[in-house]
Amino acid sequence: MHYDADPLWKEMTKNGSYNVLYKFLYLINGFHPMTTANCAVLKSAFETVGRFDHQIISIDGLDDIDLAARLSFVGKVKYNKNMVVESSFRRYNGFSKAIGSTYRRFLALLRVKRKFRKKQLDVLYENLFPKKSS
C-alpha cells in the first residue's frame, strides 16, 4: 500500500489492486511475478537460481520479476494477498511519472517473458531429447 499517494491510489493499493494485477500477470506470463519489498524465498531456491541478476540495475529493470521467473523452475511461486508492505509513492512524484515507470516496467517485463519462454523451451527440449552419457 502506498501510504502517501493520492486518496484514490491509496485506496486501490490498500484494497487488493495488486492481487488482481498479479493474477493477470500470471495468466499472460505463465509465472507469478513478485516484488522484493515483501517477498519470502527459501535460501536454497535463491542460491539454486543464481540469486539476483546483477546486470539488471534498476527498479524498472524488474530484477525481482526476473528472479520470480527463474524461481518458477525450481518450485512454486505464490502470491499471498495478506503479505502487505506500506511503501512510499514519492519515487513516482505524481501520477504522470508513475505512468512512465509503468511503461518502462512493461517493456522490461516483455524482456523477462522472452527469456522465461526460451528457458521453458530449453527445459522441454532437454526432457524430450535427454543427452546420452558416453
Residue 124 has a pLDDT of 78
Question: How buried is 133 (Cβ within 10 angstroms: 0-12 exposed, 13-18 middle, 19+ buried)?
Answer: exposed
Could you tell me the mean pLDDT of each successive run of 10 residues in the chain, 134 residues long?
75 69 79 76 91 79 83 81 75 70 79 82 81 70
Asked if residues 40 and 85 have their Cβ atoms less than 8 Å apart, the reply is no
Residue 44 has a pLDDT of 93
User: For residues 4-19, b (16+ Cβ closer than 10 Å) or e, as one string?
Assistant: ebeeebeeebeeeebe
H, E, C per residue of 5-62 = CCHHHHHHHHCCHHHHHHHHHHHHHCCCCCCHHHCCCCHHHHHHCCCCCCCCCCHHHC
Residue 43 has a pLDDT of 93
Residue 93 has a pLDDT of 65
Only one residue has cell 535463491, namely 46
Only one residue has cell 488482481, namely 20
Nearest to 18 by CA among 67, 87, 70, 94: 87
Q: Does the global pTM surpass 0.85?
A: no
Instruction: Kindly list the domain boundaries of the chain, sorted by start residue.
Output: 7-128
The CB density around residue 68, as the number of other CB atoms within 10 Å, is 25
